[in-house]
Amino acid sequence: MTKFKAAIFDWAGTTVDFGSFAPMGVFIKAMAQFDIGITIEQARAPMGAAKWDHIHTLLQMPEVAAQWMDRYGKAPSDADVDAIFKVFVPMNEIVAADYADLIPGTIEAIADLRGRGMKIGSTTGYTRSIMQNVLPVAAAQGYSPDNLVCSDDLVEGRPGPLGIYKCMVDLAVYPPSAILKIDDTAPGIAEGASAGCVTIGLALSGNAVGKTQEELAMMSDSEIATLRDHATKLLKDAGADHVIDTIRDLPELVTQLEAHLG
């Protein structure tokens, strides 16, 4: 039996959608509906937050806010965030399922943790309506966590701890120090850290790198090391206790952590 009682996973960039492409593209398309152009880097910057909060952060970026002022003659407001959000969600509902392929190693890692006696929880910056399209695709590939907490299930999302607290209630696990939080984004890591969990960042499969497996395979070791270092710093700065490349590396890390605790 493991000394950890549960592992709580993020979704895009962590267990599905290697490189976290589904939300990034939709943010660009949704903003374009309002004649606002954003870069891939801008779209990715707030990733992991609840999607309303993500849009709000985008509109506060100086370059984006300036575009909005030029286009509409006023600073962007919460009502404007609401309007973009209403466009974004249906678009993401359609796209998310197309990017729901499991990240290699997910099935094996989950089986390993369950074999140690751990429960498997999940939180996401996606809304419940988006996840309704992702869940059956993941389940068909063999991944069904024990619970799911979406960004619109609670009054406050990441980087606060409420999603973790809801998982603790759903799974009947405590204390937070006996729970692992695994995520590829800074807000998702901060969610776990703020709750007091042991936090594990995923560098290469996630949003900070934003590459497909095929793209990474064509890169040199030094190029990958540069990307890894960049992602690791972002995750560590957000509160990650440990950083690994992908979920494939998780069982080995858990074995090391258990030996250290023992």
DSSP state, 256?
Answer: H
How far apart CA 259 and CA 262 sit, in angstroms, is 5
Residue 181's DSSP bridge partners are 8, 199
Q: Write down the catalytic residue from 5, 10, 17, 166.
A: 10
How far apart CA 82 and CA 88 sit, in angstroms, is 10
119 catalytic per annotation:
no
Residue 183's DSSP bridge partners are 201
How far apart CA 120 and CA 8 sit, in angstroms, is 6
Q: Write down the catalytic residue from 3, 5, 29, 51.
A: 51
Closest to 188 in 3D by CA, of 228, 159, 209, 162: 159
C-alpha dihedral sign at 148, 152, 155, 159:
positive
Contacts (Cβ under 8 Å, ≥6 apart) of 88: 26, 27, 30, 51, 55
How far apart CA 198 and CA 217 sit, in angstroms, is 30
How far apart CA 217 and CA 44 sit, in angstroms, is 22
10 catalytic per annotation:
yes
Query: Any idea which residues carry the catalytic annotation?
Result: 10, 51
